[in-house]
Every structure is written in C-alpha cells, then in structure tokens.
Amino acid sequence: MPDDAPIENVRAAIAQRLRHERALGIETVAPVALERRAAPTAASESILYDDVELKEAPAAPEAPVNAEDKAARWAALEARAQACAACALHRERQTVVFGEGNRDAQLVFVGEGPGEQEDKTGRPFVGPAGQLLDKIIGAIGLKRDDVYICNIVKCRPPGNRTPADEEVALCRPFLDEQLALLAPKVIVTLGAPATKTLLGTTQGITSLRGHWRLYKNIRVMPTFHPAFLLRQYTDANRRAVWSDMKQVVEKIKE
C-alpha cells in the first residue's frame, strides 16, 4: 500500500490482516480494541447516501478468499462469541444467540438483541416478533433459510431493555465480522438501535426507514422492528414496512 494511501484504506487493510491472523489463532491485538477503532461513529454519517445519490453500484463487498478460510473464520468467531463474557449481559443469559441462517445469503436482517424465547433457545427471532419476521420474509417470496438473521448484541438484556452503548460497543466486533463473512447484497436493519449502531447515526428510525444507506460498501435498508409493528399494528406502519421490503426485493434482483 503506498505511503500516501487514504487512512481509511490503511485501517481497512490492517483490520483485514488482523482478522485473518485471529482466524488462524494469532491474537496480536485485543479484538475489541481493534474493531472499536474501526466502528463507524456519528462522525461517519458523511458516508451515508440517499438512494438518489447511489447512481453507481457500490464495489462488491469484501469476501473471504476461499471456502476453507471462510469456514475457519466462522468457527473461530462463533466459538469466541459462545465463550464471551466481555460485557455485563453475560451474567444473566441462558444462551448466546449468535445468529443463524444461510451464510451465503444475499439478504441479512439485523435486530436489536435476544428476547426471552431467543435466550431460551439460542436462536434469533423465534418469539412473536420472529413469527412476524417470518411472515415478512415469506411475503417477499423467501424462506427463513434463504436469509441470515442476527442481532447487535448476542446476549439478552435483562427485561428486554435496550442494550447500553457500552454493551453494544463491546459486542460490535462479532457483528462486524459476521457481516464481513456474509458480504450480503442487502442488509435490513430492524428498528432504531440496530440502525443507529450499524450506520453510526443519531437520526430516528422514522426518518431513516425507507431510504438506502451504506454500511461499508453494503446497501442498508432501515425499517421498523417487528416488535414495534406488533405493538402498533396500523395500516400506515404495515404499508411502510411493505414499501421498504419491496425496495429490498428490487435491489436484490438488480
């Protein structure tokens, strides 16, 4: 890399190299420290784009070099998550809800955190909100097995409270690594915490939903969380989510 390469490129190259070394079992830098430096912040809102500005297709997402390397990285990542006690959420969890689905999916859903049913089963989105998410996935002609589903924190916040900023920051490296491995065409963020975390924005979900944004070089469609829809099952909210999902389908077909 040239000496005058943009600092973002240098950081990305260092992060990629260190992720690779970690997959090989070489822990040269604490994962949290590394990924927290690379995580988007509110200052990175300048990298967000409205769909009108997205005239050129973004570059293909970073993908692992080969299937063997990819499988090793998945295995190492999930093992680290299952053993993780980095934040206070590990104290009351029954299981670590790592995420599940098709690891070659073009579409990934990112939610907030496990609820009671998810904590019991170790699977994301299996409670009432999950059943509604299954219906949404079905409505766009896909099955749950066609997509990948995960959350911004892997352990249940007690009482289903919103995860604290520190908990999200400490768990963030798992999500970033999952998305790097998945390299999907589209990410749908479900609700405000997931959207704000992934996009590094302070805007509310009502103004963000329905508009394309970028996470690194992957397109992101923010929409309402299914749990919110269940609480406020109005025509307007259902139409909004359906409108967002129609845009997602069109983008995947491109």
**Site for ligand SF4, rule CB under 6 A:** 81, 84-87, 89-90, 96, 153-155, 167, 170-171
**In the complex with ligand SF4, which residue's Cβ is closer, 34 or 248?**
34
For residue 116, what are its two tokens? 């009671």
To ligand SF4, the closest distance from the beta carbon of 121 in angstroms equals 16
Interatomic CA distance for residues 75 and 29, integer angstroms:
19
To ligand SF4, the closest distance from the beta carbon of 119 in angstroms equals 11
Cβ count within 10 A of residue 10 = 13
To ligand SF4, the closest distance from the beta carbon of 46 in angstroms equals 28
The DSSP annotation for 185-223 comes to: SEEEEESHHHHHHHHT----HHHHTTS-EEETTEEEEEE
**In the complex with ligand SF4, which residue's Cβ is closer, 31 or 200?**
31
To ligand SF4, the closest distance from the beta carbon of 122 in angstroms equals 12
To ligand SF4, the closest distance from the beta carbon of 170 in angstroms equals 4
Q: Hunting for tokens 């400490």 — which residue is that? A: 170
**In the complex with ligand SF4, which residue's Cβ is closer, 84 or 192?**
84
* Residue 94 near residue 88, CB atoms below 8 Å: no
* Residue 133 near residue 123, CB atoms below 8 Å: no
**In the complex with ligand SF4, which residue's Cβ is closer, 31 or 224?**
31
**In the complex with ligand SF4, which residue's Cβ is closer, 106 or 178?**
178
Name every residue whose Cβ is closer than 8 Å to that of residue 224 and which is 6 or more positions away in sequence. 190, 191, 205, 209, 237, 240, 241
